[in-house]
Chain A
């Protein structure tokens, strides 16, 4: 179980997280929704130690992660697919996948996992030697997720995986996310696409200006007046 306890994150004078607590249980898909600037990405960055938190703790199966460097955290089975894809554009698709497995030493296992993610993303298979920068936006997003899976994470964090994608592609990505989860990876997903994400997720948290204001099962959140008004819009 991944547990975040009372995390406070400051960017200079701005307090981005004002004591956020949340949990992701093994095997779950958890959604993190909220308006722009609410602090969703900051939660993920805090977990991965990409930003240094001022107080609070992050535990993985009761082991304290706070204070460890990002590479150690990746090594313990956590992985972030950052907002905005951030693939290595001048490397090939294949090299990007290898970078995802950067900390692993088991060559055979890495090769097996490459085969595995390529069956999950057949579009990438055809473009294996192509420079990643020449992929379409959707393909780049797929590559970003595939690369994230290459570290064989127990917990995978996706920051806006459907950003800028056509609806058909969003469905495709969500289907793949479901498959990733079914193969045993727990997921924490930040999304603007609240309805789709909550329908996919077991549980969800609503973040507003650095606080978790609401949490519950997906059904509860989907039927909550507050969530409907603020995030579900006309859906």
Chain B
């Protein structure tokens, strides 16, 4: 069990970290992330971090839907799948490049988000969650059965790798900085989004729906926008995933994956930006760290997850967050434009 003094020390350190200026904080993390591949003893560790990066972007995307708009989305992985298949199909069948497909995939996932979003928003609460579970499965079933496009359960192999200025991404350490760029961009966009007029409207909706509506916030539209933005983040990292794995199959997009991403968001701390990042790192790296006890790995992992949720019901960020009464959202996120 955790010694109380140790816990205090962790909390104090975390608080100090938490009170640091947000730009400095991310700057430090970025520097650490940049030197990591040079310190990693093998490509395998770089590969694991690449996976963590993928999940960070996924959690950030889901966090916009769950954390900011307060919608329980249990089928988020569908957007990831749409992005991945868009890349796989277009790169092989039409020979388009990574950079051409990336914006196309953003558009297709956005459209898909719009489609399922406008259908699902007719329902509320638990029913909404069940519908999202449904579309997550539908995508997987489509991928299994539209054989002419997706090659069915066998999946698509030999997906081309991306190029940039004549440089070809081949091994994990070359992909590493591309993945890091996705993460950095996702974090930056999330901050911007949270600070924007839309972000503020979503915050208002989460706080008090009736008051928000009375101020002229159109509930449905703003929730839909958050859904689409989240979808685009998920879809774009799906493109990266397909180009990195050079292989996609329906198996990668199971319901369990949606649950994992949701767990990352919840364990890290919903509605914050550091939360999903921390959650994704924990849930990707922890099972790796536990490899030495291979037989009991998943057992310990599961027990730790339960334990974390008992100790930190509001996620890691909620756990370390001090009760700052006078600190406003404007101070927490300097990108907030006061006169949205």
Contacts and interface: CB of A to CB of B under 8 A. Distances in A.
B41 interface: no
Interface stretch (B49-57, B59-67, B208-216, B236-244): B208-216
Interface stretch (B31-39, B306-314, B322-330): B322-330
A88 B213 contact: no
Contacts of A70: 213-214, 216, 218
- Mostly, the A contact residues are mixed
Contact of A48 (B200, B214, B338): B214
A99 B200 contact: yes
A103 B214 CA distance: 11
A103 B211 CA distance: 14
Looking at A69, A95, A100, which has the most chain B CB atoms within 10 Å of its CB?
A: A95
A95 B330 contact: yes
B216 A91 contact: no
B320 interface: no
A50 B329 contact: no
B204 interface: yes
Contact of B216 (A75, A92, A131, A134): A75
Contacts, number: 86
B217 interface: yes
B167 interface: no
Contacts of B197: 102
A88 B204 contact: yes
Given A98-B340, A102-B201, A130-B326, A88 B216 contact: no
Given A86-B208, A102-B217, A91 B326 contact: no
Given A98-B340, A107-B339, A151 B216 contact: yes
Contacts of A82: 210-211, 214
Interface residues of A, number: 34
A71 B326 CA distance: 31
B207 interface: yes
A3 interface: no
A147 to B, nearest CB: 7
A98 B212 CA distance: 12
Nearest to B221: A71
A94 interface: yes
A111 interface: yes
Nearest to A69: B218
A24 interface: no
B339 A98 contact: yes
Looking at B200, B211, B325, the one whose CB has the most chain A CB atoms below 10 A away is B211
B274 interface: no
Interface in A83-120: 86-92, 94-95, 98-100, 102-103, 107, 110-111
Contact of A71 (B203, B218, B328, B338): B218
B338 to A, nearest CB: 7
B339 A50 contact: no
A91 B325 CA distance: 11
Contacts of B201: 102
A87 B211 contact: yes
A111 B218 contact: no
Given A79-B214, A103-B216, A110-B339, A131 B204 contact: no
Interface residues of B, number: 24
Interface of B, secondary structure class, is: helix
A80 interface: yes
Contacts of B210: 50, 82, 86
A108 to B, nearest CB: 9
B325 A134 contact: yes
Contacts of A95: 200, 328-330
A221 to B, nearest CB: 28
A98 B217 CA distance: 12
Contacts of B216: 70-71, 74-75, 102-103, 151
Nearest to A80: B214
A131 B325 contact: yes
Contacts of A129: 326, 328, 330
Given A92-B329, A110-B339, A111-B339, A151 B203 contact: no
Given A87-B211, A91-B207, A98 B200 contact: yes
A81 B197 CA distance: 21
A61 to B, nearest CB: 19
A75 B339 CA distance: 18
Given A79-B214, A99-B215, A103-B216, A131 B207 contact: no
A74 B330 contact: no
Nearest to A104: B216
A163 to B, nearest CB: 15
Contacts of A87: 208, 211
A113 B197 CA distance: 19
Given A71-B218, A94-B330, A102-B204, 11 more contacts: A50-B214, A79-B214, A87-B211, A88-B204, A91-B204, A91-B207, A95-B328, A98-B339, A103-B216, A129-B326, A151-B216
Sort A-B residue pairs by CB-CB distance and give the 9 closest, nearest first. A74-B216, A86-B211, A92-B328, A103-B216, A71-B216, A71-B218, A88-B207, A102-B215, A107-B339
18 contacts: A70-B216, A71-B216, A71-B218, A74-B216, A80-B214, A82-B214, A87-B208, A88-B203, A88-B208, A91-B207, A91-B328, A94-B338, A95-B328, A95-B330, A98-B339, A99-B215, A129-B330, A147-B215
